[in-house]
């Protein structure tokens, strides 16, 4: 649970498999506000408002990979935690790729929840630091 009772972290889950989205959302919804979408392109449009603390994306999707999506997310003006979830063996043994973390499928719900909360806290700290440096924003 976030330290501030008025702040509830917002997480965007991206996967083109509706069953995976539903199960991941169910694992997270007690601790964070979860939104879902089934494409990277839709995720990018949802991210324009700057309200999400974390984006958790599947790697293998139609149109744009999760890696490509998270590279774009990392360039957004507001800090956002990035988590890639994959079953691809090319990621075995790699904790992070670029500016995001990697979890291998099948995902342990407790591990997913803990990592999402950690990434959300870091994103919020970065946002607060950025606001203090630029109070007019």
CB 66 within 8 A of CB 133: no
The answer to whether residue 94 scores a pLDDT higher than 60 is: no
The answer to whether residue 107 scores a pLDDT higher than 60 is: yes
Q: What is the CATH T-level fold of the domain 10-133, as seen in this structure?
A: Rossmann fold (3.40.50)
Q: Stretch 90-98: mean pLDDT, rounded?
A: 54
User: Would you list the domain boundaries of the chain?
Assistant: 10-133
Alpha-carbon span 20 to 112, nearest angstrom? 13
The answer to whether residue 95 scores a pLDDT higher than 60 is: no
The answer to whether residue 4 scores a pLDDT higher than 50 is: no
Does the predicted model carry a pTM greater than 0.85? Answer: yes
Q: What rounded mean pLDDT belongs to the chain?
A: 87
């Amino acid at each position: 649970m976030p330290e501030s009772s008025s702040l509830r972290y917002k997480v965007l889950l991206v996967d083109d498999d509706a069953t995976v989205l539903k199960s991941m959302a169910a694992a997270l919804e007690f601790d964070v506000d979860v939104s879902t979408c089934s494409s990277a392109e839709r995720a990018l449009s949802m991210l324009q408002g700057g309200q999400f603390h974390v984006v958790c994306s599947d790697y293998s999707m139609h149109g744009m990979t999760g890696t490509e999506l998270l590279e774009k997310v990392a360039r957004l003006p507001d800090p956002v935690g990035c988590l890639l979830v994959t079953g691809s063996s090319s990621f075995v043994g790699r904790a992070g790729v670029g500016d995001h973390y990697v979890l291998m499928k099948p995902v342990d719900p407790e591990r997913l929840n803990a990592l999402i909360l950690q990434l959300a806290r870091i994103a919020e700290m970065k946002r607060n630091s950025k606001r203090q440096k630029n109070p007019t924003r």
